Structure 1
């Protein structure tokens, strides 16, 4: 790709030519050779890669990839040390069998070695590395009491029994974002996950979550309440390590309650003017429902009641149809019930300011 684009400076054209060149060479190469197979695999990977990411990672003249140990060697020269990744991935998610054994043999205290090893084992090529000043003592073991300072969130919901699968007494099944399913038998954990499901996209302070779960389960916890709470924390830590639980010291500044004059975040309103994808207040990318959904979010500036939103949304729809534009899935008019549904959806996407 670099050879094909060596004389091109305009980013959009550089990306277009690079994709075309890779496709041409992949198709012309022998699929039975290692090189041909690698080209085809790379072509498949880039099919789902946005143009801006491809340009940044592979085509930007000033971009260069560094291994983790190279970054940390440079950081050490400036009095810094490795702290963690900005997001907590499941280190063992793509490591199977011997790879897991290799990682398990590395002491937890040797965090840098563990991190570099997992990169080499699973081919991780992107990191969001956090550094801190050298000399600050770090506690790398996650154990009892670790969740106490945090607010917890999970995009999970209770699922019905799957046809053909035998139902097990006392077992609840939860599905998480991404399609991961988890069978849970611990009463407190089931109650906690239900609470987190109801609160999403909001967060719940860990101590509050424990209190809510204890209240929901009630007398069934006696006489070993302390032991049950300890097991709950162990279960939540395991779910966190699997990448299914989100924890933050401060809860995201959002609300799931619709105010009299609801307001979406200014960033989401700005992005909705030109894109179907916007950033929510959990710093995640979410997709809006077509041109009507985008317009609806852009109207949520805190100045309109639901009745005013309905009037302005219908004025927008009238303009579209008066112009003779043929836009798929655009209704002739909106109803108060649809506005209420849109508001509920926007809140569930984590776009509403408190």
Structure 2
């Protein structure tokens, strides 16, 4: 990895950010669904390649004191910043290593989970090869590697914008000036294309400009102006992985794997395409996909692609939706469209799945075991007067159990619910003396966003910051109310809904 790459991150460190889809809980869920027996997230070994300032790794370490974490980065400045936070918080289960991954200490490992987010596309061929070899050599037998990369065909158009940015910013030395000028030249060209009326470039230039503007300046610099930026078709990426002894397990995000999410016409057309990889490659053309997050495993033996719904019964589940899905028309099992916070609405059909989603939403951010949810669904069916023919005999209840596991699987791939292996110990209600984690208190004291107990990035307002920073369980509501003029009950309720209060 060139000294220029290290220097760029030393000069402008990557912003601290957590990514839920890289968390061992999410990787363990996907591995479990597709036939592996992964390590439990609360007792595992994790390596993050390109850990930057620790924004993704350190909250994992804080939340899993019995697990071991290693972060490696080529930027000494970023590693020093991460070490300072780890030392201040007394995190003794994490090691932060300043090193080129081509010279990674062979004594470290094996690892149950290896995370490489925002690395693969932005390094040279030799470093990419070293990364894949490291994954093959250091993964445990049922281990999972997460690798993200810029994808084709989407980066064909994004690459045009990148080339223009690099051409225009070549004379500038200051990183901030580079970002400012990069945005300015794309805006200039986008305005010219838009004025031309029917110029086909106007749409993609505007979309790329909006994307670049949405990124922090440091991210825009490393994304568009880095010397290395190689995009891959899915099939080409997996051919490379196979050559290094790794094979496809799944996508990191469940939505991307369920073809029905993209509409009936696409599902009907691409459904007959043989093979999950070939089908996904077609879908990337349909969606003009520009970024992928792929989970890999060692080439040991073949995995079946059909999910056994009984596996769901060993997982915990929580609602991912914000709005109450409602029970209108539930007696007939009529399908309803349920809003998805980050995706298109999903149609939910059937009495049992709809009742389950209703109960999960009512339970807030705390996850339920499958058995607890099943018991609650049986009880709710009786309360709603829908138990006849469903809850009266063991055979009927077993049929409900099977319908629940199948329904939850569809809700999971529609990202209306989340599965987990080791759920965080979240509060069901606001306690008299509420508390959050030490890492979250530290984040509230030092910035305007935190990582919640589901490893999600949560922006904070002034009231939430003031209160969260003091939630160590020692202050009651009256004392907390004195910290900010906003109503304390509203602030605490928001923190509860945000997955930030511990039981």
- Provide TM-score, normalisation by structure 1: 0.79
Residue 210 of structure 1 pairs with residue 359 of structure 2: no
Greater C-alpha Rg: 1
Task: State the TM-score, normalizing by the size of structure 2.
Answer: 0.57
* 2:290 paired residue number: 125
Q: 1:101 to 1:53 in 2, by over 3 A?
A: farther
CA distance in 2, matches of 1:186, 1:28: 52
Question: How far off is 1:94 after superposition?
Answer: 7.0
Determine which of 291, 300, 306 is the counterpart of 1:141: 306
Tell me which residue corresponds to 2:341.
178
User: Using a 3 Å threshold, how does the CA distance of structure 1 residues 264 and 176 change in structure 2: closer, same or farther?
Assistant: farther
| Cα distance in 2 for residues equivalent to 1:104 and 1:185 | 21
Matches within 5 A, 1:77-156: 77-90=243-256, 91-92=258-259, 95-96=262-263, 99-107=266-274, 110-156=275-321
Q: 1:272 to 1:17 in 2, by over 3 A?
A: farther
Partner secondary structure for residue 247 of structure 1:
strand
What displacement does 1:171 show? Answer: 5.6
**Count of equivalent residues:** 325
Question: Relative to 1, partners in 2 of residues 1:276 and 1:43: Cα closer, same or farther, differing over 3 Å?
Answer: same
Mapping for residues 253-268 of structure 1, pairs under 5 Å: 253-268=425-440
Structure 1: state its 5+ residue gaps. Answer: 315-332
Question: Distance between the aligned counterparts of 1:114 and 1:135, measured in 2?
Answer: 24
For residue 166 of structure 2, give the secondary structure of its aligned residue in structure 1. Answer: coil
Residue 494 of structure 2 aligns to a residue in which SS? Answer: helix
In structure 1, how many angstroms separate the alpha carbons of the residues matched to 2:332 and 2:262?
A: 32
- Using CA pairs below 8 Å that are at least 6 residues apart, which structure has the higher relative contact order? 2
Aligned Cα root-mean-square deviation (Å):
3.1
Displacement of 1:85 in angstroms is 1.9
Give CA deviations for 1:201-225 in whole Å, capped at 9, x if unaligned: 1111112211221122234223533
Aligned in 2, Cα 1:70/1:28: closer, same or farther, shift over 3 Å?
A: same
SS at match of 2:250: strand
Mapped to 1, the partners of 2:267 and 2:403 lie a distance apart of: 25
C-alpha contact (below 8 Å) 2:330/2:351 kept by paired residues: no
63-72 or 182-191, which deviates more: 182-191
| SS of corresponding position for 1:138 | coil
| Deviation of the 1:101 alpha carbon | 3.6
Mapped partners of 1:253, 1:4: distance in 2:
51
**CA displacement at 1:15 relative to structure 2:** 1.7
Match of 2:188 in 1: 24
Could you report, residue by residue, the CA deviation over 1:85-118 in whole angstroms, capped at 9, with x for unpaired residues?
22211443674566434431233xx333233332
